[in-house]
Structure 1
Amino acid sequence: MSSSALNSWVDVSRGDPQVFEREFASAPDLAHLSFAARRVLATSASLFYRSGAVATSIRDITGACGLTPGALYKHFASKDDLLNVLVQHGHESLERRIAAARAEAAADVVAQTDAFVRAYVTGHLVNPELAQTVRREYLHLSAPHYESTVSRRRRLRHQLTDLLREGAESGAFHLLDGADGAQPVAVMTLDMCSRTSEWYDPQRAEPIPELADRYVRAALRLAGAPTSP
């Protein structure tokens, strides 16, 4: 994907509902939602981004959408249901991006790690509002939804941990604590990449592909991969 395509959403203000509408319009995991439901989801996402889910009431959502509570409940059973749809979409889109990148990459562990990290950080940069909202607000989900989300996040961490461990065992990576250091390095890498959503400004920062290159190099250095001369 070209840099211009990756940054195509920047002509609206940060956190504007249109940012989320563009994201949701072609999302396959949201195809079952009606146009009206996606509009409600986009407006709610904007409110969650700006004020947080806890501070956003159903009245705030219905007022911003121009709906009655009864009309809102035709689309979503509760605010928790609405937040869960948003959070699961964020994870689904990231997982899909990572799977596609790994499927196109060479089979060796360095190429697979490069593909994972590149897709992971890019997923946080193409729509930082969504990434930041999901990263922050999943903590406020009800217990069943929260536990499901934590399991989903853990599976992603395990993917990278397994790659790092494989690389350490094969000699492709030189982790500080050997193969036992795979999980700490995975956590450091994921945290480093996910925090880009908090500060990324497409009008000031490097283009996304160049920034992703920088983070991939940093991740491979953390893993102890040999550096090019």
Structure 2
Amino acid sequence: MTRRKPGREEVEASPVVERESRAPVEAIRAAAFAQFAERGYPVVTVRDIMKACGLTQGALYNHFKSKDELLHDIITSTQSELERQCKQAVAGAGDDPRAKLAAFVRIYVMRHCRLRVEALVANREIGWLDGERVADIRRSRRAIRDILVSIFVDGVKRGVFEPPQVDGRNDLKTIAMALLDQCTHVSMWYGPGGDLTEEQMANLYADMALRMVGAQPFPPT
């Protein structure tokens, strides 16, 4: 089956240089992220990745069976860590749904500002994975969406959220997807050295998220 090639975005990815303190598998992952972000998964070869991290081509097969397995590994690793951080942020935010939503959005946006290359590869190159390999990644993404939905449900029940409605009813899953899409795409254009720091960007997005569901801004912690 022919798979549709995802759209391309410009990204600056510095060449990866192997350091003695970095384990070979981590060097391979870092080089793969950089190469896939800069040139795209289809045209990057195993030789390109290994040259970028200063290791021999055979070293890759000590850790990964194929380039497909490497792509799956790096996307899964960054996705799992995002899910873990989102859960941790919400768990530590207290009982107020506004605080939970703000905490969720801040950590999500901060990660997408700081790890732009990883986010771009995870969202752009996932289309090259087969259905079996992509299933666990999609499960994690649904879990993250459901965290948001549960926060929205709690906020509506408590009367602190008044989200926009469709024909007189709430569609909280759609609002969650819209918010996640907005927060994810910050990785496509944000760069250090601009008008706003990562922290300011995260706080701004948290403010916008609260306003999206009809809540007052929650002060940064």
TM-score under structure 1 length normalisation: 0.81
CA offsets 1:103-133 (integer angstroms, 9 cap, x no match): 3212121111111111111110112111111
For this pair of structures, how many residues does the alignment match? 205
Q: Which runs of 5+ in 2 are unaligned?
A: 1-10
The one-letter code of the counterpart of 2:61 is: Y
CA contact (8 A) 1:17 1:42 kept: no
How many Å apart are 1:64 and its aligned residue? 3.0
Q: CA deviation at 1:212?
A: 0.7
For residues 104 and 43 of structure 1, what CA distance do their matches in structure 2 show?
34
SS at match of 1:54: helix
Q: Contact 2:97–2:154 at 8 Å: present in 1 too?
A: yes
Residue of structure 2 equivalent to 1:53:
41
Q: Name the structure 2 match of 1:128.
A: 116
> How well do the aligned residues superpose, as a CA RMSD in angstroms?
2.4
Which of residues 17, 20, 23 in structure 2 aligns to 1:35? 23
For the residues of structure 1 that align with 2:185 and 2:84, how far apart are their CA atoms?
A: 20
- Please point out which of 9, 14, 17 is paired with 1:16: 14
Answer yes or no: is 1:85 the counterpart of 2:83: no
Residue 192 (structure 1) aligns with: 182
Match for residue 106 of structure 1 among 81, 94, 112: 94
Whether 1:170 aligns to 2:168 is: no
Q: Report the TM-score, using the length of structure 2 for normalisation.
A: 0.84
**Is 1:118 equivalent to 2:106 in the alignment?**
yes
Higher helix share: 1
Structure 2 partner of 1:30: none
Deviations 1:74-127 (A, max 9, x none): 121111111111101111221222222223212121111111111111110112
Counterpart secondary structure, 1:224: coil
Q: Name the CA distance, whole Å, in 1 between partners of 2:57 and 2:117.
A: 26
2:215 alignment partner in structure 1: 225
Partner of 2:196: 206
Contact 1:169 1:179 in 2 (8 A): no
In the alignment, is the contact (CA less than 8 A) between 1:15 and 1:46 conserved in 2? Answer: yes
Aligned to 1:181: 171
Q: 1:48 to 1:205 in 2, by over 3 A?
A: farther
What CA distance in whole angstroms lies between the structure 2 residues aligned with 1:176 and 1:222?
8
Secondary structure of the structure 2 residue equivalent to 1:180: coil
Question: How many percent identity over aligned positions?
Answer: 33
How has the CA–CA distance of structure 1 residues 179 and 117 changed in structure 2, closer, same or farther, with 3 Å as cutoff? Answer: farther
Instruction: Write out the 4+ residue segments of structure 1 that deviate beyond 6 Å after TM superposition.
Output: none
